[in-house]
Amino acid sequence: MSTDGQRAKATALRSLQTDGVLVLPNAWDAASAALIAAGGARAIATTSAGVSWALGRPDGQNLTRDEMVAAVARIVAAVDLPVSADVEGGYGPGTDAVATTVAAVVGAGAVGINLEDSRAPGGPLFEVEEQVARIGAAREAAAAAGLPELVINARTDVFLFGIGPETGRFDDVVARAGAYARAGADSLFVPGLLDLATLSALTARVDLPVNAMAGPGAPSVEDLRVAGVRRVSVGQAIAQAAYSLARRAAVEVLEKGTFDSLADADPFGEVNGAFHLR
């Protein structure tokens, strides 16, 4: 069951994505979460890709529920911020699987989730009615776990995976947004959509706060804010950059015998000081 402190964090997370713009540099383990918190983040969101890579798996719903919940628990223990857990497709297609997952992440201390409407990477998507039932199950499970304030960020992969005819994708997302909101979703996550004109049109048509996933070459946070976006995350981008640095630094050390790739690292004391015994 949730605690009073957990419920307060859920309420704070909800307000952060409705007042201004909530910027979420995604974490994948306790260390990345602690350093992101030290960098000034107001909340932590996990990335399934980063968690998967840290456990030696490719991204794409290849984790077990228990593996993801354990990662979320370690992150929650490392920071004093609201934590939203990327639970991918819920670790099972049915409503019972989604409910079990939500109960588990609430038990781990999370106060929000991302829930995808993809059956598998690349599609197909759940039919609207199926995803509505899954979101409803998530909302009911959160209430049963003592956290009715759980923030459900409903992810739709229509644009990310190019589902359906291009001319119909916008209307599909609008229809899904309405249905997901009625089922209990608190925000709409539309990865793969960064065109500012389309985002502006979308935020004008839907009642839910819209989450965009940004990265190198994307519009700035300010540009996204002007387009009506209320939540900006970076998905796997930070984890990808960190692991890429590990490869580049290894190549430099092994092939050149030099260490320039490591020159911009934070001082040991600053990194070590981000962790506290609890």
Reported confidence tier of residue 1, pLDDT bands at 50, 70, 90? confident
Predicted local distance difference test score (pLDDT) of residue 17:
93
Sign of CA dihedral 200, 206, 208, 211: negative
pLDDT tens-place string over residues 253-274: 999 999 999 999 999 999 999 9
Residue in this structure with the two tokens 């994505």, named with its chain if needed: 17
- Tell me what the mean pLDDT of segment 61-83 comes to: 97
- Tell me what the mean pLDDT of segment 71-82 comes to: 98
Residue 88, pLDDT > 80, answer yes
Q: Bridge partners of 113?
A: 85, 152
Residue in this structure with the two tokens 């991302």, named with its chain if needed: 114
- Tell me what the mean pLDDT of segment 60-81 comes to: 97
- For residue 276, CA distances in Å to 45, 135, 236, 271 come to 20, 36, 26, 11
State the Cα–Cα distance between residues 96 and 213, nearest whole angstrom: 29
Q: Which residue has the higher pLDDT, 24 or 2?
A: 24
pLDDT tens-place string over residues 170-207: 999 999 999 999 999 999 999 999 999 999 999 999 99
pLDDT tens-place string over residues 204-249: 999 999 999 999 999 999 999 999 999 999 999 999 999 999 999 9
Residue 134, pLDDT > 90, answer yes
Predicted local distance difference test score (pLDDT) of residue 2:
79
Task: Spell out the domains of the chain, with CATH numbers in brackets.
Answer: 4-235 (3.20.20.60)
State the Cα–Cα distance between residues 271 and 274, nearest whole angstrom: 5
